[in-house]
Structure 1
Amino acid sequence: MTEPRRETPIDRKLLELLVCPLTKGPLTYDQEKSELISRKARLAYPVRDGIPIMLPSEARAIED
């Protein structure tokens, strides 16, 4: 029996340093979805176990 996965919060200092790898623009953290959002690139980068996955190939496209 496996335990439910708990999200580890992302370090606030790390958030201040991170930028989008494509645009070098700012990111905003969506805690509910556990994603870092790049509005300029229209991508959402996942955060897994408190670690941001900053690969465009892993990002989800954002549609408005």
Structure 2
Amino acid sequence: MSTAIVLLFLLSGMLMFATIISLYATVVTSKSKNVPAWVWCLGAACLLVAFAAVVLMN
């Protein structure tokens, strides 16, 4: 695996961690149970980076 692929997987992991933390901060601790749009975008970015890393790996 090249360095770029490893860095993409690390970035994907960091984005997943940030998504989980932001879901907790916005949904669990607030009275409103709506998920903000920026949390959805953060999760989508995580999936996109992970997909790019898997595609580049093959």
What TM-score do the two structures reach when normalised by structure 1?
0.21
Greater share of residues in strand: 1
Report 1 or 2 for greater relative contact order, CA contacts < 8 Å, sequence distance ≥ 6. 2
What TM-score do the two structures reach when normalised by structure 2?
0.23
